[in-house]
Amino acid sequence: MELQERLDDVRSRVATAERKAGRPAGAAQLVAVSKTFDADFIRPVIAAGQRLFGENRVQESQSKWPALRAETPDIELHLIGPLQSNKAADAVALFDVIETVDREKIARALAAEMKLQGKAPRLYVQVNTGLEPQKAGIVPDETVAFVRLCREELGLTVEGLMCIPPADENPGPHFALLAKLARQCGLEKLSMGMSSDYEVAIGFGATSVRVGSAIFGSR
């Protein structure tokens, strides 16, 4: 399939999954994950009308997105990869949404940078629903307290929760857990679902799905 066909296919599958779940059209936003692809691969996707993009590295994003944004100012850029404190300033400067707030140290660093720069990217807390030792994210049991700390102590506005289920497990229970934690936190946004499981995620209430290889091809 060509890029345009793949993008159309993903869009129609998103629409079908929304309908099947009894959710309104547009309830799940499509974030196109462009990591590892350079600007020449991304431009046709922008030309096809896509505006939400996800990247997992700050440095790689800095080399690609300022130029692409100069061409198309209404791009919305999401950071979906782990963030180190020493990159907090760059992340606040570049991204519209940071989906990987996962510990107090990074929350504090972001709060300080947001104040300094007078800029407030929207924030998601990443939850390690599978309790995987190698994976980033706050553990489920600490999520409510962590969101409260972000809000009450650090004055941050948290918009939603994000998760990456273990690769070798049925993702449904992980999506259900994320939705339950979001309700407990009083949050409405759920970033969940990737190329292999975004339709499932939409059934569990995803408000955005992060789709890379199904649009751009394998990395």
Does position 210 bind ligand PLP by CB under 6 A? yes
Of the listed pieces 2-10, 69-77, 82-90, 204-212, which binds ligand PLP according to CB under 6 A?
204-212
Residue least distant from ligand PLP (Cβ): 212
Quick check: 203 binds ligand PLP (CB under 6 A)?
no
Task: Choose among 185, 199, 160: nearest CA to 19.
Answer: 199
Interface with ligand PLP in residues 99-128 (CB under 6 A): none
Q: Do 162 and 206 meet the contact criterion of CB atoms below 8 Å apart?
A: no
Site for ligand PLP in 80-99 (CB under 6 A): 80-81
List Cβ neighbours of 33 (8 Å cut-off, separation of 6 or more): 53, 54, 55, 56, 80, 194, 210, 211, 212, 215, 216
Retrieve residue 214's tokens. Answer: 């199904």
Size of the site for ligand PLP (CB under 6 A): 14
CB of 152 to ligand PLP, least distance (A): 27
| Contacts of ligand PLP in 149-168 (CB under 6 A) | 164
Closest CB to ligand PLP among residues 135, 151: 135
Q: Which of 194, 200, 202, 206 binds ligand PLP (CB under 6 A)?
A: 194
CB 169 within 8 A of CB 177: no
**Helix (H) or strand (E) run with residue 45 in it:** helix 39-47
Give the type of residue at 62: Q
The residues in 31-70 that bind ligand PLP, with binding defined as CB under 6 A, are: 33, 35, 56
Point out which residues pair with 127 in neighbouring strands: 138, 163
Determine, following the binding rule CB under 6 A, whether residue 195 of this chain makes contact with ligand PLP: yes
Q: Which amino acid is at 119?
A: K
Tokens of 118: 């007078």
Q: Catalog residues that contact ligand PLP under the rule CB under 6 A.
A: 33, 35, 56, 80-81, 164, 194-196, 210-214
